Amino acid sequence: MNATVITIGDEILIGQIVDTNSAWIGQQFNAIGIRLYEIISCGDDAAQIVGALDRAKATSQIVIMTGGLGPTKDDITKKTLVEYFNTELELNEEVWEKMKQIFEKRGLQVLEMNRSQAMIPKASTMLPNMRGTAQGMWFDVDGVVYISMPGVPHEMKHLMETQVLPRLKERFSFPHIYHVNLMTAGAGESVVANKLSAFEEQLPSNMKLAYLPNLGVVKLRLSAYGEGDALANVVAVQKEKIKEALGSLVYQEGEEPLEVFIGKLLSERKETISCAESCTGGYISHLLTSVAGSSAYFEGSIISYSYDVKEKVLGVKNETLMQVGAVSEECVNEMLSGLLKLTGTTYGIAVSGIAGPGGATADKPVGTVWIAVGSQQRQVAKRFTFFPSRAENIKVFSNAALNMIRLFIQGEL
Amino acid sequence: MNATVITIGDEILIGQIVDTNSAWIGQQFNAIGIRLYEIISCGDDAAQIVGALDRAKATSQIVIMTGGLGPTKDDITKKTLVEYFNTELELNEEVWEKMKQIFEKRGLQVLEMNRSQAMIPKASTMLPNMRGTAQGMWFDVDGVVYISMPGVPHEMKHLMETQVLPRLKERFSFPHIYHVNLMTAGAGESVVANKLSAFEEQLPSNMKLAYLPNLGVVKLRLSAYGEGDALANVVAVQKEKIKEALGSLVYQEGEEPLEVFIGKLLSERKETISCAESCTGGYISHLLTSVAGSSAYFEGSIISYSYDVKEKVLGVKNETLMQVGAVSEECVNEMLSGLLKLTGTTYGIAVSGIAGPGGATADKPVGTVWIAVGSQQRQVAKRFTFFPSRAENIKVFSNAALNMIRLFIQGEL
């Protein structure tokens, strides 16, 4: 079962955006046993789109298109598909009504150009987009399924999950692949791989272990190919071996990020958390509050970027800042004590470091961070050194802090 | 002058890595007037690579390949090219000597498999790689130039800059393409397009306008194709027409996000900012602090997720919370006043809303947000209603807040 992904948009070809849709679709397909044969990125140009479609159908039974479905003149994917499949557009009253309602609710005027987005090709099945005004389309022609979706990543992902993948599973029969994911935090890919070298040697040939590292978190995906119910048991046995080899590095089975896991821990225990962030600038709080329902356990945070806020709001001593500096064990411990006093939460996290590019000193290079985690009774602080890049450091510092509080809550720190 | 980029590697197709090479190459080509016709990503498979090459040479005079040049068995790009161009490999003594020296320096043993990386196709010009052991190759066959480079981004970029781009400029003469980007905030794509419909009608046929929307920010790209120095002037005239049609929706020429633009405004004025975030949970602070050097103007924030933190740290009145609720004009105004008193910054932002999925009431659906911005002297609050999804709301609320403070600082609110 082969698939081709066609991503459409001039902005991809001139490098104004990086195409992340293809990689995400590739992951989804790989997980259910569809082989992604090729990815083609072409411009908003009918001849190019037609050329890509012709080639795709020669190798693939599934052709996924993203992009070019906006209301403006440069978006021509739908028009091109109508011609390619020799069909015509008709107004979908339901979509049009809903669109008008949405615009009205937001106090906006519906424009004639929006109406074009409610026009659906007769030969297609509409895939309703609950996240935007560009609807998905499904064409099933001569044994090949062609799917067109908007290029906006969150709209595309939502359509894939709610419409495309379930429909593909119905339309085709896929080989058996059995996956188990394990989430690890606190060690890099090579450290994890080293701990698993003996495990990998004994792994049966129909099983495969993949490492998917992401800034302080490494997802492990164990895949088994074959037939029958016994497969699940075989995978379960191997999974336990991984857990044994990695100990507390594994925080969970599944694919949930640390902030979701911590949220569950806190919800179960009816406990609360707050943060005092300096160099991470709100990113830890953002991760914690990205979880729906986080108001049950997340009370709030103090982003103490300046000395002034550290002193006035968190009660960090001026001597500490002057004598050992903001990136120090003393400072994060004082930030944490002040925070826990102010918010009264069960747990707290305090972080102060040098994300870069500026701010380094002789003994504190860019990438240095002090993290303190603790409760009203006890605090633990650690120093880490990570990367040279600001954007990565903010994320890797945040994951390191979340992993520390995870271990603290679990009684392993 | 067309080019095709072929990125080679199974890891791209299963989504284990995002192909960032193509976007970077697209930017380089766009800047010097080479039109990137298509990007093809294929697996480490000879038939797929040959298929991609055949199609590429039908549309393009320049074919760039990245990936598949490692020393291991799964890397087959070089072997495939040798067969494709009906040539053979020969040992490049210079490369081999250098490779042995590098390995010796690192205390590693040179393996037979490394020797294969010093074998260069006779029909190619070697492009020396100063950053790794996989050399670049340049084939010039029947008027088409084929270039093969390693997939490691920093090695590929180095080869492009030092070898490929200079050689291409010598080999071909390129047309003129001229781009201007304008950043807008405060209106969706269709509103912006509607305001520009008359503009688009009068746009000369050698010019093109593209809309690139991203959660409250719409980037506009105006491109002109043609010859001569006059092109820049023609683009400048059209750019001014866009600015006139859109007024204060345009915040900047270029491609910088709101947080970078606001950072520049504040740096120039030597003014400071702080935030009081509820539903955005730290994301506005994260955006502001993602900018290197933001400590010059960003003092800190209070993430007041709970009523308790709103009252205790920001001084929001209990009656306000009890009578009109946290998502209200009164609440964001009190949050802002409390914040500005606490931090003493020139400006402040306060946000309270319902990101969802929970928390909606009859008159306050998911997506409702109140935003107040202001200074020590004056405050302005507005209500907006956005999307049904939590993740998007957090981002679109944050961009709306940044746009409000942008307008406030510029004296347009």
Q: Following DSSP, what letter does each residue of B97-157 receive, concatenated?
A: HHHHHHHHHTT-PPPHHHHGGGEEETTSEEE--TTSSS-EEEEEETTEEEEEE-SSHHHHH
What's the average model confidence in pLDDT over A76-87? 96
What's the average model confidence in pLDDT over A359-365? 90
Residues with Cβ within 8 Å of B411's Cβ and at least 6 positions away in sequence, in order, are: none
**Is the predicted pLDDT of residue A227 greater than 80, yes or no?**
no
Q: Does B290 touch chain A (CB under 8 A)?
A: yes
Note the pLDDT of residue A303. 98
- Shared domain check, B273 and B144: no
Confidence of residue A188 (pLDDT cuts 50, 70, 90): confident
- Shared domain check, A224 and A267: no
Tell which A residues from 214 to 273 touch B, by Cβ distance under 8 Å. Answer: none
Q: Which of B213, B236, B253 is the last residue of a domain?
A: B253
What's the average model confidence in pLDDT over B321-350? 98
Q: Which domain holds residue B221?
A: 176-253
- Shared domain check, B402 and B318: yes
Q: In the numeric block, which tokens belong to residue B9? A: 């590697």
What tens digit of pLDDT does each residue of A301-311 get?
999 999 999 99
For testing the chain B interface, which of A4, A8, A10 should be mutated: the one with the most B CBs within 10 Å? A10
Quote the number of domains for chain B: 3
**Is the predicted pLDDT of residue B350 greater than 80, yes or no?**
yes
Note the pLDDT of residue B152. 85
Per-residue burial over B216-243, b = 16 or more CB atoms within 10 Å of its CB, e = otherwise: bbbbbbbbbeeeeeebeebbeebbeebe
Q: What is the mean pLDDT of chain A?
A: 93
What's the average model confidence in pLDDT over B327-344? 98
Q: Does A189 touch chain B (CB under 8 A)?
A: no
Q: Does A205 touch chain B (CB under 8 A)?
A: no
Q: Does A313 touch chain B (CB under 8 A)?
A: yes
d(CA B191, CA A333): 50
For testing the chain A interface, which of B177, B255, B260, B286 should be mutated: the one with the most A CBs within 10 Å? B286
**Is the predicted pLDDT of residue B71 greater than 80, yes or no?**
no
What's this model's pTM, rounded to 2 decimal places? 0.81
Note the pLDDT of residue B111. 78
**Is the predicted pLDDT of residue B131 greater than 90, yes or no?**
no
Residues B167, B173, B175, B180, Cα dihedral to 10°: 30
Note the pLDDT of residue B167. 97
What's the average model confidence in pLDDT over B2-29? 93
What's the average model confidence in pLDDT over A86-110? 89
Confidence of residue B73 (pLDDT cuts 50, 70, 90): confident
Note the pLDDT of residue B189. 87
What's the average model confidence in pLDDT over B37-55? 96
Tell which B residues from 343 to 362 touch A, by Cβ distance under 8 Å. Answer: 343-344, 356-359
Tell which B residues from 51 to 110 touch A, by Cβ distance under 8 Å. Answer: 52, 55
**CATH number for position A144:** 3.40.980.10
**Of B8, B103, B118, B130, nearest in space to B63 by CA:** B8
Note the pLDDT of residue A177. 79
What's the average model confidence in pLDDT over B75-90? 95
Q: Which of A147, A171, A195 is the last residue of a domain?
A: A171
Note the pLDDT of residue B251. 98
Q: How far is B73 from chain A (nearest CA, A)?
A: 18
Q: In the numeric block, which tokens belong to residue A334? A: 């004082």
- Shared domain check, B398 and B264: yes
B282/A286 Cβ within 8 A: yes
Q: In the numeric block, which tokens belong to residue A138? A: 């499904």
d(CA B134, CA B154): 12
Note the pLDDT of residue A108. 80
Question: Which residue is closest to A44 within chain B, CA to CA?
Answer: B210
Instruction: Please tell me which residue, A330 or B98, carries the higher pLDDT value.
Output: A330
- Shared domain check, A288 and A232: no
Packing angle between helix B77-84 and helix B46-59, nearest 10 degrees?
60
Note the pLDDT of residue B221. 87
B308/A299 Cβ within 8 A: yes
What's the average model confidence in pLDDT over B51-74? 92
**Is the predicted pLDDT of residue A359 greater than 80, yes or no?**
yes
What's the average model confidence in pLDDT over A122-151? 95
B15/A27 Cβ within 8 A: yes
User: Would you say B275 and B348 are in contact if contact means Cβ atoms under 8 Å apart?
Assistant: yes
Note the pLDDT of residue A65. 98
d(CA A396, CA A214): 9
Q: Does A46 touch chain B (CB under 8 A)?
A: no
Q: How many CB atoms lie within 10 A of CB B317?
A: 14
What's the average model confidence in pLDDT over A232-245? 94
Question: Which residue is closest to B254 within chain A, CA to CA?
Answer: A16
B37/A72 Cβ within 8 A: no
Note the pLDDT of residue B331. 98
A13/B38 Cβ within 8 A: yes
- Shared domain check, B387 and B359: yes
Residues in B touching A20 (Cβ below 8 Å): 18
For testing the chain B interface, which of A16, A158, A366 should be mutated: the one with the most B CBs within 10 Å? A16
What tens digit of pLDDT does each residue of B181-205 get?
999 999 988 899 999 999 999 999 9
Question: How large a percentage of chain A has pLDDT more than 70?
Answer: 100
Structure letter (DSSP) for residue B175? P
- Shared domain check, A263 and A249: no
**Is the predicted pLDDT of residue B113 greater than 80, yes or no?**
no
**CATH number for position B212:** 3.30.70.2860
- Shared domain check, A338 and A212: no
Note the pLDDT of residue B380. 98
Residues in B touching A343 (Cβ below 8 Å): 308-309
d(CA A103, CA A83): 30
Note the pLDDT of residue A214. 82
Q: How many CB atoms lie within 10 A of CB B122?
A: 10
A298/B281 Cβ within 8 A: yes
A289/B286 Cβ within 8 A: no
Note the pLDDT of residue B192. 95
- Shared domain check, A284 and A137: no
Structure letter (DSSP) for residue B326? S
Confidence of residue B31 (pLDDT cuts 50, 70, 90): confident
- Shared domain check, B87 and B195: no
What DSSP assignment string belongs to A63-109? EEEES--SSSTT--HHHHHHHHTT--EEE-HHHHHHHHHHHHHTT--
Q: What is the mean pLDDT of chain B?
A: 93
What tens digit of pLDDT does each residue of A256-292 get?
999 999 999 999 999 999 999 999 999 999 999 999 9
What DSSP assignment string belongs to A191-255? HHHHHTHHHHHHS-TTEEEEEEEETTEEEEEEEEE-SSTHHHHHHHHHHHHHHHHHGGGEEEESS
**CATH number for position B401:** 3.90.950.20
Packing angle between helix A46-59 and helix A77-84, nearest 10 degrees?
60
Note the pLDDT of residue B174. 78
Q: Which of B136, B156, B171 is the last residue of a domain?
A: B171
What tens digit of pLDDT does each residue of B2-14 get?
999 999 998 899 8
Q: How far is A366 from chain B (nearest CA, A)?
A: 12
Q: Does B189 touch chain A (CB under 8 A)?
A: yes
**Of B378, B380, B382, B379, nearest in space to B368 by CA:** B382
Name the least confident of A87-101, B52-66, B92-106, B244-258.
B92-106
Q: How far is A230 from chain B (nearest CA, A)?
A: 26
Confidence of residue B161 (pLDDT cuts 50, 70, 90): very high
- Give φ, ψ of A69 to 5 degrees: -115, 15
- Shared domain check, A398 and A277: yes
Q: How far is A390 from chain B (nearest CA, A)?
A: 7
Residues in A touching B365 (Cβ below 8 Å): 105
- Shared domain check, A263 and A247: no
Q: Does B44 touch chain A (CB under 8 A)?
A: no
Packing angle between helix B390-409 and helix B258-269, nearest 10 degrees?
30
Confidence of residue B147 (pLDDT cuts 50, 70, 90): very high
How remote is the C-alpha of A38 from its chain's centroid? 23
